[in-house]
Structure 1
Amino acid sequence: MTNTEEIQLIQTEIGDKAGRGLKWSLVGTLGAKVGSFAMGLVLARLLEPSDYGTFGIATAALAVLMHINDVGLIAAVVQWRGKLEDMAPTAATLAAVFGVVVYGIFYVTAPAYSAFSGEADAVGVVRLLTVVIVIDGLTAVRSAALMREFRQDKMIIANTVGLGFQIVVSIWLAIAGAHAYAFAWGQVAGAVVGGLLTTIFAKVPLRFGYNREIAKKLLKYGFPLAVSLGIEAIVMNVQLAIVGRISGQEQLGFYVLAFNMSMWAQTILGTAIRYVSVAGFSRLSETDDRALAQGVHKYIPMLVSVVAPIIALMSVLATPLVTLLYGGKWSPAGPALMLLVGLTFVRMVTGLAMDALMGAGATRSTLWIYLGWSIALVPALWIATESLGINGAAIAQTGIGLLVGVPLTAIALQRAKVALRPMGPPLVRPLLSTVLAAAVAAVVAHFTGPYPVVQLLAGGTVGLLVYVPLVVPRDQLRRLPSTLLRRGGSAPIPEEA
């Protein structure tokens, strides 16, 4: 067997495992999104925009802390070259200690953070919600063990049950008049239940210990990653503090809703992919540099083909989508949503590329990407928000992502011996088809107004009817009806996805 054949065999084996894991991840994240979406619809009618603003400030803090509190140990465990049982006690100790320490520091500094964000009354909500980082630190190694072995089915069960508790607690407290605390208590309850189930399913002995050499290896990989992910979280969430300070509580509430809606595609597809991509790229990088590069060349165009039309149609149909789902009082979020979905597209593409860098152990590259991204973003975000309000903030986020985030990621891939030229031709057709589909959908929606439901159905349907025949090969379209019948009416998910 030649070296090329061996690489292809390894790619096939890893692809099969990752494909099965991705199927479970897609099912789980889709179900979680449906549940979160339903909860959001109910809470939007029980709470006020100001409550969303307060919770947005707390969520921003949690997002940053969640990325740094385990010092990159989840990814380090997934990528670890060796036996899990040798490293698990040390990793568990490090993750738990850092989780408690980070929470303690932020507990003390929460008043200053809330005051800077223009939400001085948010201190209690911030302190309560960030308890989640302690729970995450205690369960980090167990979550990583499930991801490492592509046991996404167990993760889905744990997350789904946790989400159920979150929904019940949040809605019950919202009805009782708890305002923003309804969000926080619900999320903490869900984290506790999900964490307990994850610990049970992982079957990793609950042991703590410390080995200096193992700790050194884990932190050498994980620390640059934790810093880079922390900067990423700042890049994505500093907007909330700036918008709240400049535009006020109510405008922040509109912006939070728009931002959360813009993340739907990433929440469903991006989260599902990340559950398997780091492990998959790690296994590929263990074999040969060519295997990793071939994986990137294959999966980024595939991701673009799926995500680009979703993002484009959501952009041109943003205002009727907001109005239909949340009511007329939330319509100011529409223009911001139209712009922010572009950032989601950027994050998903660069995120998959950086998963490949993490799989190859190039965590310092991700650090430099996010550092450069944040340096460019913060001043642009402040200036744009002062000039154009929440729409200016959306323009700054998407613009800096395209003009700074994408080029920095491309440079990092080149330095990791992943050539960019082979990805060019496969991207042309889906990108051009996306532009055409979005333009047609916008025209159809304009002439089928003023009812939002009609605009969404007509514009979305016509847009997809334009896109799909241009991108999906004709033989696959011809086989689709028979494939659907064989699978009992459920659409096929390619193994290599």
Structure 2
Amino acid sequence: MTNTEEIQLIQSEIGDKAGRGLRWSLVGTLAAKIGSFAMGLVLARLLTPADYGTFGIATAALAVLMHINDVGLIAAVVQWRGKLEDMAPTAATLAAVFGVVVYGAFWIAAPAYSAFSGDGNAVGVVRLLTLVIVIDGLTAVRSAKLMRDFQQDKLIIANTAGLVFQAAISIPLAVMGAGAYSFAWGQVASAAVTGILVTIFARVPLRVGFEREIAGKLLKYGFPLAISLGIEAIVMNVQLAIVGRISGQELLGFYVLAFNTSMWAQTILGTAIRYVSVAGFSRLSETDDRALANGVHKSVPMLVSVVAPIVALMSVLATPLIALLYGGRWAPAAPVLMLLVGLTFVRMVTGLAMDALMGAGATRSTLWIYLGWSVALIPALWYFTESFGIKGAAIAQTGIGVLVAIPLTALALQHANVALRPLGPPLVRPLLATVLAAAVAVLVARFTGPYPIVQLLTAGAAGLLVYIPLVVPREQLRRFPGMLRRSPA
């Protein structure tokens, strides 16, 4: 067998493993999203917008700390070029220590953070919810090991069990009047259950150790990544602190609901993809200089073809979607959702590119992208929120994402020897089809009466019926009925 054939065989094996992992991730995250969606519907009818605002402040803190507390060690373990058993004790020790230290520091800072966010009563919720980072630090290496080995099925089982416990705790607490604490206690319980199962499934010996050389290699890769992901989390979550401070907790509650709804595609597809993409791009970058570029050229058009119509239809049908799911009192969230789904598209495209850069070890490039993004976003977010309220915050988030984040990401890919020109032609058809599908959905929605469910079903179906034949190859469409009739065996 020639060297070229060996490389092709290795790449094929990586693709098979990544494909299996992605299938499991999609199935698992879809099931988890359905469960969390159902729980969210229940809680939205039990809690007030102000409760959502308080929880949003705590969630923003947790999102930032989760990316900082393990100093990029999860990705570093996934990307590690040597044997896992050689570095696991050092990585586990570092992750646990950093998790405890970061939590202790923020426990002290929680009152100041809550006061800045406009809700001094959020301190207890913030301190409770951020306890999740300690659990994450203790289980980081075990989660990374499952991702590294493409054992996403086990991760999904652990996450699903955690979601069940979350619902079992959050909903009764909400009924009893616990307010935002019902969210926080549920998430802490979920993290604990998930962590226990991940530890069991990973089968990594519980050893404590520290080797300076290994620690240096891990931190050299992970520290810039941790900073960049921390800045990413700030970019995505500083909005909640700013909106809460300027607009108050009730309007923040509407914004949080819109933001969470806009992230459905990101939660399902983005989470599933990230479970396998860093490991897949990392293995590809080891085999051949062109393999990473080829992987990006194939992945980005596929991602856009799936995400673009979802985002467009959610935007044009935001009003009936909010009315149907959450009721009339949440109507102020609809105009915000209409704009924020654009940010979802930006995050998913840039997120896939970031995964490719991480897989290639170019963590400094991700740092510069998020630095530029945050420098542009924070003043724009403050100005537009003061000028136009929560709708202005959505305009700033989506606008800066399109005008700043995407160009910076494109430059970083070029610097990593990923040519951008091959991406152009495959993107034209899905983007034009998306515009046409959205226009058809708007037109149909106007003639389907005042009932939200009728508008969603008819307009959404009309949009998809326009989009699918224009984007999906005819050969695949002809094979689809046969695939449905085929037995699972």
Whether TM exceeds 0.5 here: the answer is yes
Show structure 2 runs of 5+ residues with no match.
none
Distance in 2 of aligned mates of 1:246 and 1:80 = 44
The alpha carbon displacement at 1:289 in A equals 1.5
Query: What is the TM-score when the length of structure 1 is the normalising length?
Result: 0.97
The CA distance in 2 between the partners of 1:450 and 1:124, in whole Å, is 43
Q: Does 1:94 align with 2:98?
A: no
SS in 2 for 1:172: helix
Summarize the Cα distance change of 1:4–1:466 in structure 2 as closer, same or farther, 3 Å threshold: farther
Q: Is the 8 A contact 1:304 1:427 kept in 2?
A: yes
Q: Post-superposition shift, 1:2?
A: 5.2
Match of 1:468 in 2: 468
What amino acid is aligned across from residue 284 of structure 2 in structure 1?
L
- 1:293-325: CA deviation from partner (whole Å, max 9, x where unpaired): 000000000000011101100100001000100
Distance 1:16 1:487 in 2: 22
What's the offset of the Cα at 1:487?
A: 4.5
Task: Report what 2:30 is aligned to.
Answer: 30
* Matched residue, 1:21: 21
**Alignment partner, residue 12 of structure 1:** 12
Match of 1:202 in 2: 202
* Residue aligning to 1:417: 417
Q: Which amino acid aligns with 2:38?
A: A
How far apart are the structure 2 equivalents of 1:129 and 1:156?
A: 22
1:176 to partner: Cα distance: 1.1
Tell me which residue corresponds to 1:433.
Answer: 433
Distance 1:214 1:128 in 2: 33
Q: Secondary structure at the residue paired with 2:449? A: coil
In structure 1, distance between residues paired with 2:8 and 2:350: 25
Other-structure match for 1:63: 63
Distance in 1 of aligned mates of 2:172 and 2:284: 47
CA deviation profile, 1:261-314 (whole Å, cap 9, x unmatched):
000001000000000000000000001110010000000000000111011001
Cα shift at 1:10: 2.3
Letter in 2 for 1:459: A
CA separation in 1, counterparts of 2:48 and 2:487? 44
Quote the Cα distance in structure 1 between the aligned partners of 2:325 and 2:277: 32
- The alpha-carbon deviation at position 488 of structure 1 amounts to 4.3
Q: Which amino acid in 2 is paired with 1:435? A: V
Give the aligned partner of residue 328 of structure 1: 328
Aligned to 1:286, what secondary structure does the other structure show? helix
8 Å Cα contact 1:7/1:291 also seen in 2: no
CA displacement 1:437-481 (0-9 Å, x = unmatched): 001101111221311111101110000000000000111101001
Distance 1:245 1:173 in 2: 27
Partner residue, 2:76: 76
State how far apart, in whole Å, the 1-side matches of 2:319 and 2:456 are: 10
Name the structure 1 match of 2:229. Answer: 229
1:381 is aligned to: 381
Q: CA deviation at 1:9?
A: 2.4
Q: Which residue of 1 aligns with 2:367?
A: 367
- Displacement of 1:5 in angstroms is 3.9
Contact 1:55 1:125 in 2 (8 A): yes
- Tell me by how many angstroms 1:209 deviates: 0.4
- Contact 2:11–2:287, Cα closer than 8 Å, also in 1: no
Q: 1:494 is matched with which residue?
A: none
Q: Which amino acid aligns with 2:88?
A: A
- Give the corresponding residue for 1:448: 448
Q: Is the 8 A contact 1:32 1:163 kept in 2?
A: yes
Equivalent residues in 2 for 1:290-305, closer than 5 Å = 290-305=290-305
Amino acid corresponding to residue 282 of structure 1 in structure 2 = S
Q: Give the Å deviation of 1:485.
A: 1.6
1:157 is aligned to 157
Q: Indicate yes or no: 2:263 matched with 1:257.
A: no
| Letter of the structure 2 residue corresponding to residue 358 of structure 1 | M
Matched, 1:346 2:326: no
1:170 aligns with 2:194: no
Code of the aligned partner of 1:295: G
Partners in 2 of 1:4 and 1:379 — Cα distance? Answer: 51
Contact 1:285 1:291 in 2 (8 A): yes
Contact 2:321–2:456 (8 Å) recurs in 1 = yes
Q: 2:25 & 2:328 partners in 1: Cα distance?
A: 34
2:116 and 2:381 mapped to 1: Cα distance? 16
Instruction: Tell me whether 443-452 or 283-292 shows the greater mean CA deviation.
Output: 443-452
Name the TM-score, length of structure 2 as normaliser: 0.99
Map Cα deviations across residues 44-69 of structure 1 (whole Å, 9 max, x no partner).
11110000000000000000000000
Residue by residue, what CA displacement relative to the aligned partner does 1:375-425 show, whole Å, maximum 9, x if unpaired?
000000000001110100000000000000000000000000000001110
| TM-fit CA distance, 1:3 | 5.1
Which AA in structure 2 matches 1:325?
Answer: L
Note if contact 2:54-2:249 (Cα within 8 Å) is conserved in structure 1.
Answer: yes
Contact 2:22–2:272 under 8 Å retained in 1: yes
Q: Distance in 2 between matches of 1:439 and 1:5?
A: 48
Q: Which amino acid aligns with 1:361?
A: G
Query: Relative to structure 1, is the Cα distance of residues 369 and 487 closer, same or farther in structure 2, using a 3 angstrom cutoff?
Result: farther
Structure 1 residue 241 corresponds to structure 2 residue 277: no
Partner of 1:119: 119
SS in structure 1 at match of 2:287: coil
The verdict on how the C-alpha distance between 1:112 and 1:415 changes in structure 2, with shifts beyond 3 A counting, is same
Partners of 1:3 and 1:263 in 2: CA distance: 44
Could you tell me which amino acid in structure 1 is paired with residue 430 of structure 2? P
* CA–CA distance in structure 2, aligned partners of residues 215 and 299 of structure 1: 33
Answer whether contact 1:103 1:130 (CA < 8 A) is retained. Answer: yes
Whether 2:55 is the aligned partner of 1:51: answer no
Distance in 1 between the 2:230 and 2:348 partners? 17
Note the C-alpha offset of 1:122: 0.2
| Structure 1, gaps ≥5 residues long | 490-497
- Structure-2 separation of matches of 1:349 and 1:6: 31
- Post-superposition offset of 1:6: 3.8
Q: Does the aligned pair in 2 maintain the 1:63–1:237 contact within 8 Å?
A: yes
User: SS at the partner of 2:419?
Assistant: coil
348-357 vs 443-452, greater mean Cα deviation: 443-452
**What is the total number of aligned residue pairs between the two structures?**
489
Deviation at 1:253, TM superposition (A): 0.2
1:177 counterpart SS class: coil
2:308 equivalent to 1:308: yes
Deviations 1:130-187 (A, max 9, x none): 0000000000000000000000011011110011000110001111110100000000
SS in 1 for 2:223: helix
Q: Partner of 2:319 in structure 1?
A: 319
1:137 aligns with 2:116: no
- Once the two structures are superposed, residues 237-272 of structure 1 have per-residue CA deviations (whole angstroms, 9 ceiling, x without a partner) of 000000001111110000000000000001000000
Instruction: Provide the residue aligned with 1:108 in structure 2.
Output: 108
Kept after mapping to 1: 8 A contact 2:79/2:282: yes
1:288 and 2:288 correspond: yes
One-letter amino acid matched to 1:121: N
